Structure 1
């Protein structure tokens, strides 16, 4: 089993020496400001470390499968100490219909509109992991319904037919650049190979934490920026947040 270090080490300041029959390795962190919960990247270290990096900002899981979003969200919520929320469950409780029956009776637009209203209500919540409706009927599949999804860190759990890690990374890069699907608005994408098995949920959750860690370490201002976006009303101006008083309907406002 391959074990990775929690983050980057300065190669030039790595010291190796022999002490009797032991090899002693001295490693210096590349970023001294980042607190490492452990020397290696494990479920436990990621859970603690990413919870600190998120600073209370919620996490939204989007993608083609409601079941995958739900299963992984539960694992993440336990690891982070966040509250689990499921927009599919909330929508079905409110409408007293299943998503499938709502699509038949009202159409897929009704589902995405209803989920958008739910996302608006939970967008001001902190420390939540939100599983969204998967497939083409949910709000996340539509690029024009991302206004409130931008309030949290979004992760696209994308099923893949790639044969190896390199191909999966290239597939993810193309998906994110093409913007052909609403899911491509996500902050990060996690590719899932093979047939889905609920037993994989924790492994996928760990990969999600690792991806979020790398994203936030690449720009430590992101959690604060997400917080500002929420405080200004989730007006749809992510990532180029406009000044207070800006009107999203006209594109004008206070300077």
Structure 2
């Protein structure tokens, strides 16, 4: 499970008018404009680690990022002045990874992760249906997938509002059963971001509800204990929450959401989800192929140890 609590925002000085970036397979090159200033090497500082890069000119920071798009070999960093540009060459650790940009920006992540997913769908699970839906929409627009919401699909299929089932005997079980049927159908779809029903009413909160969720990559949008109204108020609520959280741990990636939720944070959470998915996919480049095999064999619930025998 990969955990991502926030995405760092790279800083690029507004005084830097030129920003050029090139990916040359084994290395990447960054060119920063120096505004025609006459500089000597002693006035420039370039500090690099495997994932960070800080550039200062005359003690002023022109670039500071803790989230390079990929990892580098910091000891092999080379920089020099070329006319009115500062040129920085960074050696990649993974030469097969294509860098869309120098940092993990929204644009570079949506471009890069869309390629890494190879059409595999993404499922968002968590306590809040509303958060799942809003983040799914942002995520889908970014990677050019189809946004889907199982709550809306269940209501369309059953021709009634889910809220009307809550007070009925067996209503929660009926919702889980209906969503499970929807997920079975969606497991055969490609290029979709699916927002699932949250809490005790959703299939993802049940141990038996994951068979078809495993068809795609699952991201758990986990609200912290002090996040809005998510704090349990009764002992039975707390026990139920722990049971659902246990099921959500089946997700391959986790994004923690702290504080009081506001829909304006949807894109930031979507970006954190992309960052977590990128790390997951790079940790095992055969994952998408195994997901495809799992679907072709009929989503039998044997993820990640797929049994290829009949």
Category of TM-score, reference length = shorter chain: 0.7 to 0.9
Distance 1:242 1:179, change over 3 A: farther
Could you tell me how far apart the structure 2 residues matched to 1:22 and 1:85 are? Answer: 46
With structure 2 as the length reference, what TM-score do the two structures score? 0.71
* Moved beyond 4 Å, runs of 4+: 18-23
Distance 1:10 1:59, change over 3 A: same
Q: 2:274 matched to 1:209?
A: yes
Q: Alignment length, in residue pairs?
A: 231
1:122-169 superposed Cα distances (whole Å, 9 cap, x missing partner) = 100000000000111100011121000000000000111479xxxxxx
Could you tell me how far apart the structure 1 residues matched to 2:83 and 2:190 are? Answer: 52
RMSD: 1.9
- 2:267 is paired with a residue whose SS is helix
Match of residue 147 from structure 1 = 211
Match of residue 117 from structure 1 = 181
CA contact (8 A) 2:149 2:195 kept: yes
Larger radius of gyration: 2
Q: Which residues in structure 2 correspond to 1:39-118 (within 5 Å)?
A: 39-105=102-168, 106-118=170-182
CA contact (8 A) 1:53 1:216 kept: yes
Q: Which residues in structure 2 correspond to 1:137-216 (within 5 Å)?
A: 137-161=201-225, 181-216=246-281
**Which runs of 5 or more residues in structure 1 are unaligned?**
164-177, 246-255
Distance 1:20 1:197, change over 3 A: same
Match of residue 234 from structure 1 = 299
Q: 2:200 matched to 1:133?
A: no
Compute the displacement of 1:98 (Å).
1.9
Could you tell me how far apart the structure 2 residues matched to 1:83 and 1:18 are? Answer: 46
Could you tell me how far apart the structure 2 residues matched to 1:197 and 1:225 are? Answer: 36
CA contact (8 A) 1:143 1:185 kept: no
